A and B are shown apart, each in its own frame.
Chain A
């Protein structure tokens, strides 16, 4: 039991940090928020060359053959750096979806392109209700000749504007089983993309589908939803790892600032009220990080991880949100001026909190699982 990154993973983490320090900084993050594309194509090319897009893709499909715990370790650094890029959308969500659902032929076709960075794929799941439950998929799929036509509104779809292919969840009838995942070229008639104004200015899109024609169904026409649960679990854990990395940076900023900033003739970091805030933050981060690692581990080795994933996402999101709030407070005025590093994390933390299940949603799952497991015990 080592409860943390292996030696190889530590190397991955170190190299990632070194690379990211050279390609991204707060000014770049800020600039990309206003940029039409939202990321630097030259940096994206480097990211793909490093093999990050294909990190979880088996070697036979052109990837690195790593697992979700490798990706989680990498994303601690990605999250910390706030790197603007479609890495999560394509390299995590789409890659996992294609792996979980795609036919052999589809995997052979799509995954190498995704891994090399030649193509960007984006999953379009969520809708205006914002839920990750099956009932939230209201987009309809109707047969038309040999194919399918999709109608509905997808919301919160990151980097849809640079997608070569959208993977759209839609239903052809009632029940979870009637949900399938359709491959849609965003350039066809009936697809309209509009940027969503978000607090994180992180290029999420409104995807309006009005009889848009699908190229194909990814994998089976029925039963995709239950296979997709594994994708949601892994994506949630990777995103939680990103939150841990970002939260650590918030704490670092707060600690550094409080050692330098002097008021009443003393560094403000010597005030116990602030010390205790930071001590709580580091405690929450340490705890949440262990939860994320355990969930990643269980998913990687194929154990039931429903409880651990829900715990990880809830704990990591709560830790990041709190670290960003306290970090801003500790910076005083310097924490709310646009362009300060602290305010960047504060705004990005909101998106990290609500994506892939708000902590409240995951807590409901935790209790549901506990209730399922609770048995009258004879040992008392």
Chain B
């Protein structure tokens, strides 16, 4: 039984910390705290710096621009990035979702073409799965790609795509065989965002972030735009989603910081002369917040340890972790707001009256999107019930 990081990873942690201290300038921090378009900060220059160090692709094989390191290095990196509120949106999807997927099922040419720029932090990707009529039920996508000579012609729509306005490439799920059983006629394609016929309209989330509604009108892509096997896209997707869900394993550190600040707030804030933290319900809620955060941490470590032992993201652990984060995240945001009371409604444009810099006002609005992004809480519960417990459909 062992719960310690390998020494090399701990040494690496200090290096990352040192780097972030130096490179995360007040401007970047400020941008992160108040940025409009992104919940997780978007900064291409900063992403490129990480790319130069090889830190975006710590665990990739060396031949594709990776560092060939163990998963603990990546975990340490994730933890330090999240704890420091460092911007990740410019590389997150490319490095943690598209890259590993390509390594798994891309052709050699595709790997050579797309992976090194991702590793250098130079290309930004978005993912287009969700459509107006296909959310949780992804097998019902309607966007079609029809073969025309050496090309595919794409028509249809995508919904809620993040940071597409700044992306170089678009990884999309399209229907390539409408006559096949619905899971079997789906493929994955890559679109260069310079291709004519892609139109996007911004949608704004309640907390002010941009996602996009996308329309394809006779978008022509070359035959080799297909990633992986034709018509096997849905099966590739399952594995890729697991990989995506095993990204952000360091995210618990950001929540731990939130919790520590909340504890401090409850210690220092007096109600009629008595510190808030002396209230029983506050004590109990803080403890449960801490327990759940501890479990988030351990589940992340568990997923990491499985990755380390080879192979793709583990079904059981990944699924259980999804339920955990999606079910309990919401609870504690609500609790934190309860602790703050009247002030929990105040936004950062009224800084004088916004407790904890209005963080929980933002978190409260973000908690809904946070639970649904990448799959809903109910979907996570279904996955555990059907795939982990083997319950009947």
List A residues at the B interface (Cβ < 8 Å): 1-6, 9, 69, 255, 258-259, 266-267, 269-270, 272, 275-276, 278-280, 282-283, 286-288, 290-291, 293-294, 296-298, 300, 308, 311, 314-315, 360, 362-367, 370-371, 373-377, 379-380
Contact = CB atoms under 8 A, between A and B. Distances in A.
Contact of B389 (A4, A279, A287): A279
A1 B260 contact: no
Main secondary structure of the interface of A (DSSP, over half): helix
Q: Chain B CB within 10 Å — which of A364, A374, A377 has the most?
A: A374
B62 to A, nearest CB: 24
Contacts of B392: 259, 266-267, 269-270
B110 interface: no
Given A287-B324, A379-B84, A278 B391 contact: yes
Given A279-B385, A291-B295, A311 B290 contact: yes
Contacts of B304: 1
A296 B1 contact: yes
Nearest to B275: A371
Q: Chain B CB within 10 Å — which of A267, A291, A308, A371 has the most?
A: A371
A259 B260 contact: no
Contacts of A377: 257, 260-261
Nearest to B296: A287
B323 A280 contact: yes
A290 B389 contact: no
24 contacts: A1-B4, A1-B6, A2-B1, A4-B1, A6-B1, A259-B391, A259-B392, A269-B392, A275-B381, A279-B384, A279-B389, A283-B323, A283-B324, A287-B320, A290-B301, A291-B298, A293-B3, A298-B3, A363-B288, A366-B290, A367-B263, A367-B284, A370-B287, A379-B83
A24 B335 CA distance: 44
B381 A280 contact: yes
Contacts of A364: 283-284, 287
A9 B1 contact: yes
Nearest to A275: B385
> How big is the B interface, by class?
35 or more
B286 interface: yes
A300 to B, nearest CB: 7
B263 A370 contact: yes
Nearest to A363: B287
Nearest to B359: A380
Contacts of B299: 286-287, 290
Q: Chain B CB within 10 Å — which of A6, A269, A366 has the most?
A: A366
B305 interface: yes
B1 A5 contact: yes
B302 interface: yes
Interface in B276-313: 277, 282-284, 286-288, 290-291, 294-295, 298-299, 301-302, 304-305
A1 B277 CA distance: 35
Given A275-B391, A278-B385, A291 B291 contact: yes
B2 A2 contact: yes
A286 B263 contact: no
A288 B328 CA distance: 14
Contacts of A259: 390-392
Nearest to A252: B389
Report, nearest first, the 8 A-B pairs whose CB atoms are least far apart: A363-B287, A275-B385, A287-B295, A290-B298, A279-B384, A366-B287, A279-B381, A367-B283
B76 to A, nearest CB: 11
B264 interface: yes
Nearest to B306: A3
A55 to B, nearest CB: 15
Nearest to B33: A380
A286 B291 contact: no
B5 A1 contact: yes
B393 interface: yes
Nearest to B316: A286
A69 B291 CA distance: 20
A3 B386 CA distance: 26
B295 A376 contact: no
Interface in B312-326: 317, 320, 323-324
Contacts of B378: 276
A283 B286 contact: no
Given A1-B72, A258-B391, A287 B283 contact: no
B384 A3 contact: no
Given A283-B320, A286-B302, A364-B283, 13 more contacts: A1-B72, A3-B302, A6-B1, A275-B389, A278-B389, A283-B323, A283-B327, A290-B301, A294-B298, A311-B290, A370-B260, A370-B263, A377-B261
A279 B323 contact: yes
Contacts of A379: 83-84
B264 A363 contact: no
A371 B295 contact: no
